[in-house]
Chain A
Amino acid sequence: MAQGIINQYRQAAHDLRKNEVWRNVDFAPQLTDDMVLPTAADDAQLQFWCNIQGLEAHRIAFVNGAFKSDEQSEQSGVVCCTVGEARRSYPELLGKVLAEVGTDGNPYADINGSNATDGLFLYVPDGMTVHQPVQLLSIANSDKSLLLHLRHVVALGRGSSLKLIQCDDSYTQQGAFSNNVLLASLTEGSRLEHYKMQNLNDATALLNQTFVSMQRDASLCSVGITLNGGNIRNHNVVRMTHEGCSTEMHGLYLIDRQQRCDNYVFVDHLAPNCKSHELYKGILDDSAHGVFNGHVLVRDGATKTEAYQANRNILLTDKAFVQSKPFLEIYNDDVKCSHGSTIGQLDNQALFYLMQRGISPRNARTLLLYAFCDEVLRYITVDQLRDKLGDMVKKRLHGELSACLDCALSCSNTCGCTPPEFKIDLSSTK
């Protein structure tokens, strides 16, 4: 069974090798023949929780693809259960959402569709604001290399709002391949804040696919922070189908060694008066390989569109490598659009400024790298999450990105490694 799926992936990679959207994607190093699908025997307890100090959140976890949570209750009309449960208990609601939002039909999404074991179903009724964020953790904890497929569905009623924190973590050093799809339907005037926190071991590949469909005046703010992971592809597709929508889509990737991180963003402006803003920033060390592939499509009739795209990269070594392709496709005169990309090193004059105050070269570099990251972290509106990610970024940056070489969980108190010594207080300004 697993071998059949592995073959499907290999076929997909072969078929898409000349496809502009997928040609940089190569999961071959992680997709090994010894991979297996999780079975009941792989049911593991949740031994690690991606804690965010001081944050009260609704916690939902999938360990080795299996649902673990006691949040399965309905709270004043909010539905929070597995997709399997929704199929049984809320077939009409689920069906209605799935009619509104689908994937872009890529083969990887199809493989996910036919193999997804489960997923989270979240429904927020009209006019409701879910005050506590929902934290969705997917974690692999097995001595086997698992192939994981989850398919989540999020539906926001009119004028409702939700904060979703999606964490992908590894518990062991065992490799895994996780192909997750999240379908989100944002109806009129609703708002989704979607934070992604990715901290996986170097043997793990993650394909995180997010498809969002937005109706009139809906707004989306997505911030993805990639701290570690062998091979990560974030595949984001946003369709603004009605007037007045706003999309903020931002990302930060800190990668080193042989890691790969590939961010694809497709924003489809189908209606007038919509805004989209993308800022992706990356720091690449050692032989890391980054990709930014951004595509903004402004369709005929999508007048008064505002679309901005930026990708900025710092390469710390000669071997680090980044491919950056911001792309605007505009069929309309009445728009304000811009795109830009930079790839460079740390500014020597800024380093000189810091060192002239007596700050050591190492701390000066860390300060500047943190300052570079802060521009993305600022988009996180949940204070505790921003502080936590800020701390994790500092730990990651300390020691030129290799502080936690033997630890996939540099964020966790449970990890056995000595926490990196961090002498300087780099709290960002509020």
Chain B
Amino acid sequence: MALLSIRNLHASIGDKEILRGVNLDIEAGEVHSIMGPNGNGKSTLAGVIAGNEKYTVTDGEVIYKGRDILAMPVDQRANEGIFLGFQYPVEIPGVSITNFMRTAVNEQRKYRGLDPLTGSQFLKLMEEKKKVVEMTANLANRSVNEGFSGGEKKKNEIFQMAMLDPTLAILDETDSGLDIDALRIVATGVNHLRRSDNAIIVITHYQRLLDYIVPDFVHVLYEGRIVKSGPKELALKLEKEGYEWLKEL
């Protein structure tokens, strides 16, 4: 059984239908890349899987670990192992990353029937995971995303992914706004977290990221549907020829 199985998914914002029948199957151990022009539903798909109430699902189903999760609250989906790396991470002044993550990690542990981490256990875990994205000590003492550069925000997203160790991670344009060094660090971090028992969906505009995070499958989301799926070479063709040729499909 697939880890994630999306069937005929339709979703809208207000009266505007964005997703018009998405079908997608993802097995544990796979990395899928979703590409496609702006405004065709990539972020909407990510938001619907994570449970953002901004979107209304009008039809279809999202089966995760054998359960339809569309009625499940956002925090419960997160506790079930779904992680969304935000395209625009939110700034939370006055709340340190340490406390934010400690709250999140311990709530997830509680959900899974585990004891909360003690202060020292938590700090040890944090030190370990900071290395995944070459995060400096300084960064973890700051308020969540406040005054962060674009690169720092995206590193912080991957750091959180490392801390929470999700089963399904959706990275929404994690490469946007990154310089080449930050891109390498972020991609290396993601690869480090890649295992046979989890899956990653990488939403991106650029083939460049996929040089570092090599996907098993590439899908093109166009006008609310996946119009083309293929091996990683599909990304190269898109990079070279653009999306124009897809309109004829």
Contact = CB atoms under 8 A, between A and B. Distances in A.
B14 interface: no
A364 B75 CA distance: 10
Contacts of B111: 358
Contacts of A353: 86, 89-90, 92
A375 B101 CA distance: 21
B79 interface: yes
A372 B83 CA distance: 26
Interface stretch (B46-54, B173-181, B233-241): B46-54
B5 to A, nearest CB: 21
Interface string A101-142: 000000000000000000000000000000000000000000
Interface in B23-77: 50-54, 73-75, 77
Given A363-B103, A367-B100, A429-B143, A356 B95 contact: no
Interface string A374-411: 11011000000000000000000000000000000000
A355 B99 CA distance: 14
B159 to A, nearest CB: 12
Given A370-B95, A424-B99, A428-B95, A358 B89 contact: no
Contacts of B130: none
Nearest to B160: A357
B213 interface: no
A424 B103 contact: yes
B199 interface: no
Nearest to B108: A358
A429 B52 CA distance: 29
B142 interface: yes
Given A350-B90, A352-B52, A424-B103, A357 B95 contact: no
A427 interface: yes
B94 A356 contact: no
Contacts, number: 99
Nearest to B84: A356
A428 B53 contact: no
A348 B53 contact: yes
Contact of B78 (A348, A358, A378, A425): A358
A105 to B, nearest CB: 40
B242 interface: no
Contacts of B108: 358
Contacts of B104: 354, 357-359
Q: Which of B73, B75, B106 has the most CB of A within 10 A?
A: B75
Nearest to B96: A429
**Residues of A in contact with B, size category:** 20 to 34
A82 B226 CA distance: 80
Interface in A46-60: none
A359 B141 contact: no
Interface residues of B, number: 36
A360 to B, nearest CB: 6
Per DSSP, chain A at the interface is helix
A426 B111 CA distance: 20
A355 B164 CA distance: 13
A279 to B, nearest CB: 13
Nearest to A357: B104
A355 B111 CA distance: 13
Contact of A356 (B50, B93, B102, B142): B50
Interface string A224-237: 00000000000000
A306 to B, nearest CB: 23
Given A367-B103, A371-B93, A426-B99, A355 B141 contact: no
Contact of A352 (B74, B79, B100, B160): B74
Contact of A359 (B90, B96, B103): B103
Contacts of B53: 348, 352
A367 B95 contact: yes
A372 B142 CA distance: 16
B93 A374 contact: yes
Interface string B153-166: 00000001000100
B94 A360 contact: no
Query: Quick one: which of A354, A357, A374 has the most chain B CB within 10 A?
Result: A357
Contact of B92 (A356, A368, A430): A368
Nearest to A378: B94
A194 B96 CA distance: 27
A187 B202 CA distance: 63
A378 to B, nearest CB: 8
A424 B164 CA distance: 17
B80 to A, nearest CB: 9
B107 interface: yes
Contacts of A371: 92-95, 143
Given A355-B73, A358-B164, A424-B99, 20 more contacts: A352-B53, A353-B86, A353-B90, A356-B75, A356-B83, A357-B160, A358-B79, A358-B108, A358-B111, A359-B75, A360-B75, A363-B103, A367-B103, A372-B94, A374-B93, A377-B94, A427-B96, A427-B99, A429-B96, A429-B142
Interface of A: 347-350, 352-361, 363-364, 367-368, 370-375, 377-378, 424-430
16 contacts: A352-B52, A354-B92, A356-B50, A357-B101, A358-B78, A358-B79, A358-B107, A361-B73, A368-B92, A370-B95, A371-B92, A373-B94, A374-B95, A427-B96, A429-B94, A429-B96
The 9 A-B pairs of least Cβ separation, nearest first, read A374-B94, A357-B104, A358-B78, A371-B94, A353-B90, A355-B74, A358-B108, A429-B96, A355-B75
